Amino acid sequence: MSYMIKSLKVAIWFMFLTFPIIVIKVNTIENLVMWRWKNMFYMGVGVFFVSMLWRYLLERKERAGKSDVQDKKTITQTVMENPKILRIVVFSLLAILCIFPFVTDAYQINILTVALMYVVLGLGLNIVVGLAGLLDLGFVAFYAVGAYTYALLNHYFGLSFWLLLPVGGLMGAVFGVLLGFPVLRLRGDYLAIVTLGFGEIIRLVLENWNDFSMGPSGIANIDRPSFFGIDFSLEQSTIFIYFLMVLFTLFTIFFVNRLQNSRIGRAWLALREDEIACQAMGVGRTRTKLMAFALGATWAGLMGVVFAAKTTFINPASFTFLESAIILSVVVLGGMGSIPGVILGALIMILLPEYLRAFSEYRMLVFGGAMVVMMVFRPQGLVSNFRRKYSFHAEDERFGQ
Amino acid sequence: MEYFLELFLGGLTRGSIYALIALGYTMVYGIIQLINFAHGEIYMIGAFTALIFASVFSILGWPVAAIFIIATLAAVVYSSAYGYTIEKIAYKPLRNAPRLSPLISAIGMSLFLQNYVLLAQTSDFLPFPQLIPDFEFMEPISHIFSSAELAIVSTTIIVMLLLTFFIKFTNMGKAMRATAQDKTMALLIGINVDRVISVTFIIGSALAALGGVLIANHIGQVNFYIGFIAGIKAFTAAVLGGIGSIPGAVLGALILGWTESFATGYISSDYEDVFAFALLVLILIFRPAGLLGRSETKKV
């Protein structure tokens, strides 16, 4: 009962709070005021139930914190640890991905291609944020660097996609080091802000340096990728880029997975957990952080090239802070540091709004809210990362003596 | 010379606005070591609330002075309420979480508020009615320094004095300083830390709302996205002066305002925002503690 009363109070508070913004709509040009009292009613009812749920979840979270840590295996964990099931899952997914373009139309292929691009971008950012624990809010700058590398060199010198793909990745890495080097000393909040500033600087330069980047009007007529000189029709080209992205995604997953369990991957995890202890153990902070920045940026650069080739037109408006925020929420929602999590996050972020058209307008609202809710109730994301644990069991104890 | 004076006064106005917003950042950071990313959005909501109330009352035909007072009050009240609620929802449950969590939560909150205003109102730039009438107050300067700008600068000075007084001499101010130094210790000697944090958010939000009303009146338009840039610039100001330090925030804001004003005046106006960001990056690299900030000794 006290729940109800508290929630009622919260509902009334929110009705007051949101009153000017959602009830009144002014038209300052024609001097009209629209009163939308209905919204206030919806807000009150909605907040009442949300508040009840919020309180219930908070209480449950507190109770879970008090009881012993349960070591329940999640579904993903079971799948990941059983090679037989994992193989079946992976192969069936691959089969679906391969058949997909031949049973659907270009629109569907395009959406899935975009989703796969976000998977790769998410995995790239995951290296920086999830593994190394460095919050990078200017990730999109490297994406822009890759895209502009391809667009400009293709526009002025006519160089091909395949030649410029590694160049784009390299440029991403160079900019990653360029940014990483001066900000090595910073952590957490400061780092987030500096990377954000860096991203905005790149965008503003691209927007204003007309002689170099053609300013806000952008660069059009960028070549699509060719395949041994074969001329593709538009539809064939779409399918080609789709398969390219599938291969790219597989390669990235493989690469990041290996990276995670490598020396450098472990160094990142150690750095994320405790920087000072990490240095004391002889892990070089400079090298490790720069590696994380450079590798994350490389993926963004590569994706930038693919993005420019796919859309054949780029302008600075594609590289705003919002884009960085979307990629970040892919990583956060899915689960920082977890590869299946990032993939799931990207698919949810990109595919859901496409298929639920009515919902797409509310996309950023929902995801902004989801980021808050996630941090409060499930900071590890949808699919939490797990590490291999080594433990003694009763029968092993004699070895421990 | 007149051009220089114009840029100087323009920089002073900018700096005063940044100072009003930066105070909120710096106070919150001083107390809970959190960069409140949603602070820029609170400023934006303040400006929007003022616009809405001003429009409603101007259609009713009230006198401009009354409208100005009502709109400012409404902006301050609503922004404070938003600040208070945001803290309760997005930051309070995360007080003992790893540092990345509240930061991401703050970014989520900022996105949420932007899109909330975008959906409920509009994505267009809305014209803001002129609430402070133009009048000649001092003959030679009046035509390069309007009454709106005078209002901005004098408001900032008054607010600064009041805030200094509040923090130095009132019980709440003392509690705030104690909490900023050591939260656990403050709790032990009977300070209600939760209340202190709430009050900090409320004061910071109220100042941001004042900034919102004054700058919307000065520039003459409002948009859902204004909070983002203003937020970053105010943050730059706070960092420049030394985050956590109140005089530092004002000093940083003024330096930033003049830098921008002179750089756009003498170099190029295309790169207006780049100067602020570049300044931010440079300070963080060379003097992360800021001009007036103490360098933080790491507790082990």
For A30-65, what is each residue's pLDDT tens digit? 777 778 888 888 888 888 888 888 888 888 888 876
Q: Does residue B300 fall inside a structural domain?
A: no
For B124-182, what is each residue's pLDDT tens digit? 888 887 777 767 666 666 666 777 788 888 888 998 889 989 988 999 999 998 988 88
Q: What residues make up the domain containing B200? A: 1-286
Is the per-residue pLDDT at A399 higher than 80? Answer: no
Mean pLDDT of chain B: 84
pTM for the model stands at 0.86
Contact between B118 and B224 under an 8 Å Cβ cutoff? The reply is yes
CA distance A366 to A378: 16
Q: How confident is the model at residue A229 (pLDDT cuts 50, 70, 90)?
A: low
Is the per-residue pLDDT at B82 higher than 90? Answer: yes
Mean pLDDT of chain A: 82
The predicted structure's pLDDT at residue B299: 41
- The DSSP output letter for B190 is T
Q: Write down the domain spans for chain A.
A: 2-64, 105-377
Which member of B85, B97, B274 has the closest CB to residue A205? B274
Q: How confident is the model at residue B24 (pLDDT cuts 50, 70, 90)?
A: confident
Q: Which residue has the higher pLDDT, A229 or A51?
A: A51
- Hey, which of A114-123, A129-138, A277-286 has the most confident mean pLDDT? A114-123
Task: Tell me if A190 and B239 make a contact (CB, 8 A cut-off).
Answer: yes
User: Residue A186: its chain B contacts at CB < 8 A?
Assistant: 284, 288
Q: Does residue B207 fall inside a structural domain?
A: yes
Contact between B93 and B162 under an 8 Å Cβ cutoff? The reply is no
User: Residue A374: its chain B contacts at CB < 8 A?
Assistant: 108
Contact between A312 and A238 under an 8 Å Cβ cutoff? The reply is no
Q: How confident is the model at residue B291 (pLDDT cuts 50, 70, 90)?
A: confident
Contact between B20 and B159 under an 8 Å Cβ cutoff? The reply is yes
Contacts of A65 (CB under 8 A, 6+ apart): none
The predicted structure's pLDDT at residue B300: 38
The predicted structure's pLDDT at residue B297: 46
Domain at B17, CATH number: 1.10.3470
Sign of the Cα pseudo-torsion (B114, A33, A18, B211, in order): positive
- The DSSP output letter for B66 is H
**For residue B267, what are the CA distances in angstroms to B3, B13, B60, B155?**
14, 20, 46, 30
Task: Tell me if B111 and A208 make a contact (CB, 8 A cut-off).
Answer: no
Is the per-residue pLDDT at B1 higher than 90? Answer: no
Is the per-residue pLDDT at B201 higher than 90? Answer: yes
Interface of B with A in 60-119 (CB under 8 A): 74, 78, 81-82, 85, 89-90, 93-94, 97-105, 107-117, 119
**Average pLDDT of the segment spanning B41-62:** 88
3-state DSSP assignment of residue A221: coil
Q: Which residue has the higher pLDDT, A331 or A74?
A: A331
For B212-244, what is each residue's pLDDT tens digit? 888 888 888 888 888 888 888 888 888 888 877
- Split into its structural domains, chain B has a count of 1
CA distance A364 to A326: 8
CA distance B194 to chain A (A): 18
**Average pLDDT of the segment spanning A143-150:** 91
Among candidate residues A359, A287, A281, the one with its CA nearest the CA of residue A132: A287
Is the per-residue pLDDT at A217 higher than 70? Answer: yes
Interface of B with A in 216-245 (CB under 8 A): 228, 232, 235-236, 239
Q: How many CA atoms lie within 13 A of A245 on its CB side?
A: 28
Least confident of A226-230, B128-132, B277-281: A226-230
Among candidate residues B183, B191, B164, the one with its CA nearest the CA of residue B245: B164
**Average pLDDT of the segment spanning B101-116:** 88
Task: Tell me if A361 and B119 make a contact (CB, 8 A cut-off).
Answer: yes
Which of B37, B48, B111, B298 has the most A C-beta neighbours within 10 Å, making it the best mutation to test the interface with A? Answer: B111
CA distance B73 to B237: 26
Q: How confident is the model at residue A351 (pLDDT cuts 50, 70, 90)?
A: confident
For A195-216, what is each residue's pLDDT tens digit? 888 888 888 888 888 777 777 8
